[in-house]
Amino acid sequence: MNKEKSNYQILLLPGDGIGVEVLPQAVRIIRAATEFYDLDIEYSEALVGGCAIDEYGEPLPTATLELAKVADAVLLGAVGGPQWESLPMQQRPERGLLGLRSGLSLFANLRPAMTFPALARSSSLKLDLVSGLDLLIIRELTGGIYFGQPRGVKVNQGVREGINTYVYNEHEISRIARVAFDMARKRRGRLCSVDKANVLEVTQLWRDVVTETHAEYPDVELEHMYVDNAGMQLVRSPKQFDVIVTGNMFGDILSDVAAMLTGSLGMLPSASLDANNKGMYEPVHGSAPDIAGKNLANPLATILSAAMMFRYSLEQPAAADLIEQAVQATLDDGLRTADIYTPGTTKVNTLTMADNVLKNMSNIFQSGLR
Ligand code: IPM
Ligand code: MG
């Protein structure tokens, strides 16, 4: 992407449930940032997930994918809900998400898990294990068992048989490994590659290729870990990790574990990037149908996803920093949505939380100018 560029196109995909409440709040934050930094952003909006099924009969309409392809970045709320759960697999809202990932070649999924000091006490782990936690899971997102062929359920001599295929080629492995080594280099210089090389040949290849790629990054410390051990280590002593890189399915599982460690699933952003840093940005949490429509949802994960968008796809790190600092300041002010509320703090709704992030953005920006 052209570094001089300051006009961008963003596709907004609110999706379902609380997605339609949190996404507009993130847009308010983006608009403020574009004013402060004199950026020019054009927005388009489209349907994905359950709302697209209701409107067009499919979770990822062609028009949505086409808009996503021409955008510089996509900001997504959440998809899914109980009313679509009985549909056949190919028509479920989640397919919309998977279709965007593969249709846009978003192979690198970045899932940071960090403990906000103000929230460390809400973790299910002891405070000293999680305070100051800052790890980054890099999950391969367009290959592995999620997409491998053959797949399906068939009847074999009168017996139903289900099959999925766990496949990676060496190019898929080396390109995600490079993303992970690059990230580790910018952080604390340590990478842990997670596999099941003691049982699965495909992950023996994974281990070999990651080791070969390491030759390009002698300054990064590389370690390999079996996935069962990694799950255990994540809950035993999570601060041993800096960057973790793994395949699609292991990454799905480990990133939920890591998210829970922070005590604040409602706080975690994610980025899914292609080879040119075009990206889709979304909160790690789901559509939370139980609280949808009540102005109760925590908008901070989506707001922090917008910060990641400024950092990775728009190359506007100052805007990203400003948003992150404003979120931090808002938490330090004691404001909490219901999901992160603890006695002694101030419970606020979705809108008020975003109002306060905006106020803090403005304060921090002004004080930087003085
Ligand atoms: C995630 C989700 C998705 C996945 C589902 C909704 C398809 O669990 O993003 O982690 O498994 O990738
Ligand atoms: Mg998941």
Please write the tens of the pLDDT for every residue from 180-234. Answer: 999 999 999 999 999 999 999 999 999 999 999 999 999 999 999 999 999 999 9
Kindly report the CATH number that applies to the domain delimited by 1-107+274-370: 3.40.718.10
Helix 317-332, helix 19-36: angle, nearest 10: 120
H/E stretch holding 211: helix 201-214
**Which ligand is closest in space to the CA of residue 99?**
1
Give the per-residue pLDDT at 4. 57
**Which ligand is closest in space to the CA of residue 141?**
1
Work out which ligand 1 atom sits closest to the CA atom of 256.
10
- Measure the CA–CA gap between 303 and 282, rounded to whole angstroms: 9
- Measure the CA–CA gap between 250 and 228, rounded to whole angstroms: 10
Ligand 2: centre distance to CA 180 (Å): 19
Select from 16, 60, 85, 94 the residue to mutate for testing ligand 1; criterion: most ligand atoms less than 8 Å from CB. Answer: 94
Q: Which residues surround ligand 2, an ion (CB under 5 A)?
A: 252
Q: Where in the chain is the domain with CATH 3.40.718.10?
A: 1-107+274-370, 113-264
Architecture of domain 113-264: 3-Layer(aba) Sandwich (3.40)
**Catalytically annotated residue among 8, 72, 146, 217:** 146
- Measure the CA–CA gap between 122 and 22, rounded to whole angstroms: 22
Specify whether 226 is catalytic: no
SS3 label, residue 194? strand
Give the per-residue pLDDT at 351. 98
Specify whether 146 is catalytic: yes
What is the pLDDT of the chain when averaged over all its residues?
95
**Which ligand is closest in space to the CA of residue 270?**
1
Residue 10 falls in which region: left (phi positive, over 0), alpha (psi -120 to 50) or beta: beta
Give the per-residue pLDDT at 5. 66
**Catalytically annotated residue among 16, 72, 195, 196:** 196
The residues near 169 (Cβ < 8 Å, ≥ 6 apart) are none
Residue nearest to atom 10 of ligand 1 (CA): 252
- pLDDT at residue 360 is higher than 90: yes
Average pLDDT over residues 278-289: 95
The residues near 314 (Cβ < 8 Å, ≥ 6 apart) are 8, 39, 72, 73
Token reading at 331:
């938490």
Specify whether 228 is catalytic: yes
> 89, 94, 110, 88: which is closest to 16 by C-alpha?
94
Specify whether 217 is catalytic: no
**Catalytically annotated residue among 228, 290, 294, 332:** 228
Give the per-residue pLDDT at 292. 96
- Residue 264 — very low, low, confident or very high, per pLDDT cuts 50/70/90? confident
The CA R_g of the chain, rounded to the nearest whole Å, is 20
Task: Give the model confidence (pLDDT) of 38-92 as tens digits.
Answer: 999 999 999 999 999 999 999 999 999 999 999 999 999 999 999 999 999 889 9
